[in-house]
Amino acid sequence: MGPEEYLADVELAWCPGCGNFAIRRALALALSQLGLPPDKVVLVTGIGQAAKIVHYMRVNGFDGLHGRTIAAAAGIKMANPNLTVIAESGDGDIYGEGGNHLLHNIRRNLDLTVLVHDNRVYGLTKGQASPTAPLGYQTRAQPFGVLTRPLNPLALAISLGAGFVGQTFSGEVEQTAELIVQAVRYRGFALVNILHPCPSWNRVQTFAWYKERLWNLADSDHDPTDRLAALSLLISAEEKGDRIPVGVLVNTPPVPTWEERHPVLRQGPLVGRPLPTAAALKPLLDEFI
């Protein structure tokens, strides 16, 4: 199927110049390259401008609560591991409100793909700082500038053992699509942080600002199977602040996923199992005699 067949024919409510348009194109391109039938894909989103993407695609969708994107995605995957489950939302949703679900689902290692639209601000609520906003970043809600250090989601995920961790920039549609393809194909938890400008609210990290700093790891000798090297690279980039690595940071050989380790799911998905018969329930009631 061509990429356009994954796009819903609806009006898009994003602001002109928003990075979300390019991310939508990249996602469609990736799904097309993966050759996934739309009815076998579930896109799970939360709340925010990024989360609206579920309405603009032509796949199954679960648009849940703000922050709970990964939790709902985990439940869907546990019930039916045959579905390709992609959790996608903004930096506020995944890293702020839903931080706990990110931590523990990296530990669970379900075969999930998490795509985060990271523009360092809360767009839908009009420009407050997100967990990835830099120190000193001023907004109407943070008049003294942000006093809290930004989260480094990539280093966090790598330290918790996420098997696939990448970063990309929305302006690079083909690279973004390629990273999404690799993340979906990866058997285990995969995180892709997608940097993108917010022309309405973020006047600091603009398109041009990113373009000056992007550092494509494909042009380096970084070995994505080396987690320590990836961490060192991220910490050093954070300290210097002049270069932003994009590409695959970590891609380690897959280990058994949660669903592969679960004895019940090894027998097949939960979905579609017949309702219990009286004969099957007899030993249950016999426990009480």
Partner 1 sequence: MELVVRLAGVAGQGVQSLGEILARSVFRSGLFIHGELSYHSRIRGGENAFTLRISDRPIYATRKDADLLVVLTPEMWRVYRDRLRAGAWVVSEEAAGAKGERVLQIPALRLAREKLNFPLAMGVILLGAAGRLLGLNKERVQQGIREVFGEKSQPNLLALEMGWELAPSCEWELPLARFSPGEWMLLTGGQAVGAGAIAAGCRFLAAYPMTPGTPVMEFLAQRAERYGLVVEQAEDEIAAINMALGAAYAGARAMVTTSGGGFALMVEGLSLAGMIETPVVIHIGQRPGPATGLPTRTSQENLLFALYAGHGEFPRYLCAPTTPESAFYLTVKAFENAEAFQVPSIVLTDQFLVDCYVTVPALDLSRISVHDHLLSPEELEKIPSYERFALTPSGISPRAVPGASRHLVLVDSDEHDPYGRITEDLSIRRAMVEKRLRKEEALRQVTSLPEVFPSENLRGRVALVGWGSTFGALREAVEALNAKQDRYAHVHFSELWPLRWEEVGELLRGAAEVITVEGNAWGQLGKLLRQEAGIRPAKHIARYDGRPFTPEEIVEAMTHGA
* Contacting positions for partner 1 (CB under 8 A): 8, 10, 38-40, 42, 44, 47, 52, 54-55, 58-65, 67-68, 71-80, 82-83, 100-101, 103-104, 262-265, 267, 270-273, 275-276, 278, 280-281, 283-285, 288-289
Residue 55 or residue 185: which is nearer to partner 1 going by CB? 55
Q: Are 26 and 173 in contact, with CB atoms under 8 Å apart?
A: yes
DSSP 273: P
CA distance 101 to 67: 8
- The least distance separating partner 1 from the CB of residue 90, rounded to whole angstroms, comes to 15
CB of 288 to partner 1, least distance (A): 4
Q: Which is nearer to partner 1, 144 or 288 (CB)?
A: 288
228 versus 284: smaller Cβ distance to partner 1: 284
Dihedral Cα 10, 16, 21, 22, nearest 10 deg: 150
Of 10 and 235, CB closest to partner 1: 10
Q: Tell me how far apart the alpha carbons of residues 13 and 246 are, in angstroms, rounded to a whole number.
A: 28
Q: Least distance in Å: CB of 269 to partner 1? A: 8
Measured from the CB atom, the residue of 76 and 237 that comes closer to partner 1 is 76
Classified as helix, coil or strand, 127 is coil
Nearest to 197 by CA among 90, 118, 136, 131: 118
Place of tokens 């999404």: 180
Collapsed DSSP state (helix, strand, coil) of residue 287:
coil
Residue nearer to partner 1 on the CB measure, 55 or 213: 55
For the chain, the straight-line distance linking the first and the last C-alpha, in angstroms and rounded, comes to 58
CB of 46 to partner 1, least distance (A): 9
* Shortest Cβ 125–partner 1 spacing (Å): 15
Q: CB of residue 284 vs partner 1: minimum separation in angstroms?
A: 6
Helix (H, G, I), strand (E, B) or coil at 238: helix
Nearer to partner 1, 135 or 271 (CB): 271
- Cα(210)–Cα(144) distance, integer angstroms: 24
Secondary structure (3-state) at 154:
helix
For 103, residues 6+ apart whose C-beta sits below 8 A from its C-beta are: 156, 160
The distance of closest approach from Cβ of residue 169 to partner 1 in the complex, given in angstroms and rounded to an integer, is 27
> Is residue 201 within 8 Å of 123, Cβ to Cβ?
yes
1: nearest Cα among 54, 58, 74? 58
Do residues 114 and 190 lie in contact, with contact meaning Cβ atoms separated by under 8 Å? Answer: yes
* Nearest distance from C-beta of residue 37 to partner 1, angstroms: 8
Nearer to partner 1, 241 or 276 (CB): 276
